[in-house]
């Protein structure tokens, strides 16, 4: 994400995006100021727990938040136009043609009462005015591309007649049909078998490379972004807490939350029956966000300053690697804070210390 990249590769620039839902209980601030940039041909991973705002972020950029109680502010510049202030008629043209999204659950993303073939071709015909025969041919080509055997037969089928993996391939085919330049994949593999997840992610990667598309991969699983994304955003409670090229992120995690996420991934190198290192506590209430850093109640590195002042997202050595923390992992302040917390018996620090005494407090992939 270096600014030195040629600007004609720059596809999407998001600036201070904020989304709020007004419900009877109050205003839920789902996204609280997110900014990033994405170039053509690059993949951005957005990682975080459920409720951190990653899905809302993706949908906000695509203006897919239905409902009159949603407000989104900020800017999302795409190919020279601000998506957030475009009239709806223009968005209808963008959807499918320039922007596309693959959703989490392929079973519910397809209309159960409409044949697959029509669901693959209908937007093709509406956007490009393609005739029925030609659309059918394109559909077959698309299905071949996503490696679905016997495409002609599949097109006549209904969604429930296909397996989960095939349905998601269909959804991907649908998203790619009009050759968009930006693809959002919102937890595309969460609803699928583990064995199929790998194939789907590979498919997405391959399509992206072949079409020189930009892709945003939203997931709660750090393992999904490793090796498949160029850059990664870690989100917590509606804000970005760490932002870096993926390699740098894994080499040297600076934010305690990112480290906690990494730690919570079970690994085959661990002995069986090793206790899962879950992150204690729960995400904060977004109607009344706490003052200071939102992660403080659960952070093993927390210090009094964290609870009072929100740390800004900033870079230290590497300008491409930004994080928002007063006591970053691996820094002297961080190690200090951790040691102090363990000594004071702070539960989340003690838990981390017990689990992996060697790697704790020093960052890295352990």
Partner 1 sequence: MGTFIAKRLVRLIGTLLAVSFLTFLLVNLLPGDAINALIPIDAQQDREFVEQVREEWGLNDPMLVRYGRWLGDAVQGDFGDSIVTSRTVSSEITHRLPVTAELMLVTVGLSVMLAIPLGVMAAYREGTRLDQVISGIAQVFLSIPGFVAGLLFIYVFAMKLGWLPATGWNRLSNGLLDNLRTVILPALSLALIEIAVYTRVVRSDVMNTLQEDFVLSARAKGLSDRYILFRHCLRPSSLTLITVVGLNIGTLLGGTVVVEFLFAMPGLGKRLLDAIFQRDFMMVQGITVFIATIYVLVNTAVDLIYMLVDPRIRKAD
By CB under 8 A, name the binding residues for partner 1: 62, 64, 66, 68, 92-97, 99-101, 103, 105, 108-114, 122-123, 126-127, 158, 160-161, 171, 174-175, 178
Residue 113 Cβ vs partner 1, minimum distance, rounded to whole Å: 5
Instruction: Rank residues 25 and 89 by Cβ distance to partner 1 and give the closer one.
Output: 89
Residue 95 Cβ vs partner 1, minimum distance, rounded to whole Å: 4
Residue 69 Cβ vs partner 1, minimum distance, rounded to whole Å: 10
Q: What is the DSSP string of 227-247?
A: TT-SEEEEEETTEEEEEEEHH
Q: Around 334, how many Cα atoms within 13 Å sit in the side-chain half-sphere?
A: 19
Instruction: Rank residues 168 and 296 by Cβ distance to partner 1 and give the closer one.
Output: 168
Instruction: Rank residues 120 and 224 by Cβ distance to partner 1 and give the closer one.
Output: 120
Angle, vertex CA 204, rays to CA 61 and CA 161, nearest 5: 100
**How big is the chain, counted in residues?**
366
Instruction: Rank residues 119 and 303 by Cβ distance to partner 1 and give the closer one.
Output: 119
Paired strand residues for 44: 216, 231
Residue 93 Cβ vs partner 1, minimum distance, rounded to whole Å: 7
Residues 6+ apart with CB under 8 A from 241: 234, 235, 255, 257, 258, 295, 313, 323, 324, 325
Instruction: Rank residues 127 and 220 by Cβ distance to partner 1 and give the closer one.
Output: 127
The answer to whether 279 touches 260, Cβ cutoff 8 Å, is: yes
Residue 238 Cβ vs partner 1, minimum distance, rounded to whole Å: 21
Instruction: Rank residues 97 and 355 by Cβ distance to partner 1 and give the closer one.
Output: 97
Residues 6+ apart with CB under 8 A from 257: 234, 236, 241, 242, 279, 295, 299
Residue 31 token pair: 């996204």
Residue 83 Cβ vs partner 1, minimum distance, rounded to whole Å: 13
Residue 360 Cβ vs partner 1, minimum distance, rounded to whole Å: 41
The answer to whether 227 touches 206, Cβ cutoff 8 Å, is: no
The Cα 362–Cα 359 span in angstroms is 6
The Cα 163–Cα 76 span in angstroms is 36
The Cα 332–Cα 353 span in angstroms is 17
Residue 143 Cβ vs partner 1, minimum distance, rounded to whole Å: 16
């Amino acid at each position: 994400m270096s600014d030195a990249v040629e600007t004609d590769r720059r596809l999407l620039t998001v600036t201070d995006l904020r989304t709020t839902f007004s419900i009877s209980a109050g205003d839920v601030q789902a996204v609280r100021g997110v900014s990033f940039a994405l170039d053509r041909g690059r993949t951005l991973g957005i990682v975080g727990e459920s409720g951190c705002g990653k899905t809302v972020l993706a949908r906000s950029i695509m203006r897919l938040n239905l409902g009159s109680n949603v407000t989104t502010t900020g800017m999302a510049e795409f190919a020279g136009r601000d998506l957030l202030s475009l009239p709806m008629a223009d968005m209808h043209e963008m959807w499918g043609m320039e922007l596309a999204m693959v959703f989490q659950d392929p079973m519910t993303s397809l209309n159960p009462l409409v044949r697959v073939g029509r669901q693959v071709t209908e937007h093709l015909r509406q956007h490009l005015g393609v005739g029925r025969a030609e659309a059918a041919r394109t559909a077959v080509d698309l299905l071949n591309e996503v490696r679905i055997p016997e495409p002609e037969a599949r097109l006549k089928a209904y969604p429930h007649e296909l397996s989960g993996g095939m349905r998601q391939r269909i959804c991907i085919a649908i998203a790619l049909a009009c050759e968009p330049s930006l693809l959002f994949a919102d937890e595309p593999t969460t609803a699928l078998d583990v064995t199929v997840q790998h194939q789907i992610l590979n498919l997405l990667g391959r399509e992206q490379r072949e079409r020189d598309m930009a892709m945003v991969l939203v997931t709660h699983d750090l393992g999904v972004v490793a090796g498949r994304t160029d850059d990664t955003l870690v989100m917590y409670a509606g804000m970005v807490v760490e932002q870096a090229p993926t390699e740098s992120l894994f080499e040297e995690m600076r934010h305690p939350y990112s480290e906690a996420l990494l730690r919570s991934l079970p690994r085959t190198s661990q002995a069986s029956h090793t206790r899962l290192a879950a992150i204690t506590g729960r995400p904060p209430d977004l109607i009344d966000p706490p003052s200071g850093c939102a992660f403080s109640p659960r952070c093993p590195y927390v210090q009094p300053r964290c609870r009072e002042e929100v740390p800004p997202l900033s870079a230290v050595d590497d300008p491409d690697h930004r994080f928002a923390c007063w006591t970053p992992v691996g820094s002297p302040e961080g190690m200090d804070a951790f040691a102090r917390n363990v000594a004071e018996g702070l539960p989340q620090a003690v838990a981390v210390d017990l689990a992996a005494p060697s790697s704790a407090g020093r960052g890295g992939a352990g």
